[in-house]
Chains A and B, each alone.
Chain A
Amino acid sequence: MTAGPRRVGLTPGEIVRQAVLILFGLLALFPLYFSLVNSFKDRVQYAENLLNVPSTLHPENYGVAWTQIQGPLLNSVIVTVTSVLATLVLASLSAYAFALMDFPGRHLLFGVTFALLLVPEFLTLIPLYVQIRNLTLPSNYLAIILPTIAAGQPFAILVLRAAFEAIPKDMLEAARLDGAGHLQLLRRIVLPISLPILISVAIIRLIPVWNEYLLPSLVLDEAHRTLPVALVSFQGGGAATAVTPNYGALMASYVLSAVPLLVLFAFLMRYYIQGVTSGGVKG
């Protein structure tokens, strides 16, 4: 096959492949469609048909959903943005030290950080909960932000160290001869060059932080609870409950909770794809 601007034909095999892909792709997005159409229905419309677009819309569901969700949505944004940014700052400092500085215990300390990837989350969940419960923190947000930063360190350091090591050494030497210190090197050269990788790490890390449920549900009080925790508590006690919830408002809250990532991915999707496919994750 030669490269070049030639028309790609539609053979029968190609049509079948694309049909299967479109079908599966739409099925993967179906929960979003389901939430969207049902978020505009009242109880009667919901009971009548689960799949159609309703003839009379009930946008007031979004008002109900918004009053319930605005607090948790803001909390989620605060927690996620702070955790991810702090993860990047601390991991950059550490990765710089591991990649570009010489000091005794370098390999040992890297091993100590790296080994954390092997400590499973469920092992530390309960002790962390007890530990944080007994800790007097200036803000309840920190109860989830601090452990989340710690949990993000091994992955971020691993990826960033590889990126920093790949920076041409003569470039750093030149700056060093001009009298730049380590912090200046990091800020003026290393971080700007590594910006795409920093964004990739941020996006890859952001998704689990945004979706985190277990620890936040244990350590955050009601005023600080994040979106996943709030969604579960609106929904009530799961399938076992006899009461039919207000599905319209519930579905509207699901749609609203997908909006922030939708906006983010509209701009930064390629950084996620590059990050996962570049080999940085393969370890």
Chain B
Amino acid sequence: MTAVPGFRPGSSPRRDTLARLRRGWPAYLFLLPTLLLVGYFSYYPAYIAVTRAFTDWDGLNVPNFTGVENFQRAVSDPVMGQATLNMAIWVVLGLILALLPPLLISELIFHLRGRRRQYAYRTLFVIPIVIPSLVLLLVWGSFYRSDGLLNTLLGSVGLGGLRHDWLSDPGTALYSLIFLGFPYVDAFNFLLLYAGLQGIPQDVFDAAKIDGATGWRRVLRVDLPLLRPQLGLIAVLAIIGNVQYFISPLVLTSGGPGFATTVPALLMYFTATRDGEYGYAMAIAVLLMILVVALTGLSRWISRGSR
């Protein structure tokens, strides 16, 4: 149908492609709005970020190419050093908070007797999602104030000596922000782990019981290895999320006191919006992105290698 058979063999597949292209036009029409939006609001800004990292862009004027100057400045900046250290602490502690409390709660609920009871408690731990994240942040900010809940509680149990303004003390500010949001049972992580437990076949549990693996032993020997995909996913998402997270230091401490709660992503934000050094800000952003990609790759490699 497409070409004269046996004549100019090269042209047949090409015409075939053309015909398929023509027949595919409804598909391209269906994809067009998405591709336009994604191109302009996702790919183009990403392209700008990466290319302007090598310039002295100020957000207004035509940028000049400055090579790797911004990157050299970033790696030699002592504030960046402090910020990177803060970020490292945040990522490590944040990883524990993302994994352990949801795991504990999903194990406890999974081992309750009765489906209705499990359903009720599962719902209880999803309800807190209705609290807007900014409200959670601001309420916890008020807990940390000198006249806030934390100091009141300390005073009422006779530990008044520990009272202080948690977010204004360089020694406690960073940890106050990291440990904000007790009991850290993230609904998404919790549901993922709970679904993972439900996905384990009953025979596996029965076999473990016969082998005498009960209670904590079963959790360690059976549940944890079988939950590896879910735990791995939560770990990767938590690492990526915490490397780029800077809303609570932005809103509650502005990175202070001093640079005690400054993280690289916050530095990137301030460098652009406050100092107008967009080129330098993009260099920090690119360095962070490289870190995110490297950590993602590393964790995938670890989970694949040990399987």
Contact = CB atoms under 8 A, between A and B. Distances in A.
Interface of A: 8-9, 14, 17-18, 20-22, 24-25, 27-29, 31-32, 34-35, 47, 50-51, 90-91, 93-94, 96-97, 101-104, 106, 109, 112-113, 116, 118-131, 146-147, 149-151, 153-154, 157, 182, 207, 210-211, 213-214, 218, 227-228, 231-232, 235, 237-240, 244, 247, 250, 254, 257-258, 261-262, 265, 269, 272-273, 276-279, 281-283
Interface string B110-123: 01111001000111
Given A130-B59, A182-B30, A211-B133, 5 more contacts: A21-B121, A28-B183, A129-B273, A232-B251, A258-B131
B74 interface: no
Contact of B138 (A97, A235, A237, A244): A235
Contacts of B52: 127
B165 A239 contact: yes
B4 interface: no
A50 B144 CA distance: 13
Contacts of B34: 90-91, 93-94, 113, 153, 157
A232 B134 contact: yes
B129 A261 contact: yes
Contacts of A29: 127-128, 131
Contacts of B135: 31, 35, 231, 254, 257-258
A119 to B, nearest CB: 5
Task: Give the interface centre of B27, B194, B254 by most chain A CB atoms within 10 Å.
Answer: B27
Interface residues of B, number: 103
B219 to A, nearest CB: 13
A4 to B, nearest CB: 12
A263 B290 CA distance: 41
A182 B254 CA distance: 52
Contact of A238 (B141, B148, B191): B141
Which secondary structure dominates chain A's binding surface? Answer: helix
Nearest to A100: B27
B293 interface: yes
Interface stretch (B65-73, B80-88, B89-97, B280-288): B280-288
B111 to A, nearest CB: 7
Contact of B111 (A17, A35, A121): A17
B130 A265 contact: yes
5 contacts: A51-B149, A93-B33, A102-B24, A118-B296, A276-B188
Contact of A120 (B26, B111, B272, B292): B292
Contacts of B305: none
B265 interface: yes
Task: Give the interface centre of A103, A131, A154, A210 by most chain B CB atoms within 10 Å.
Answer: A103
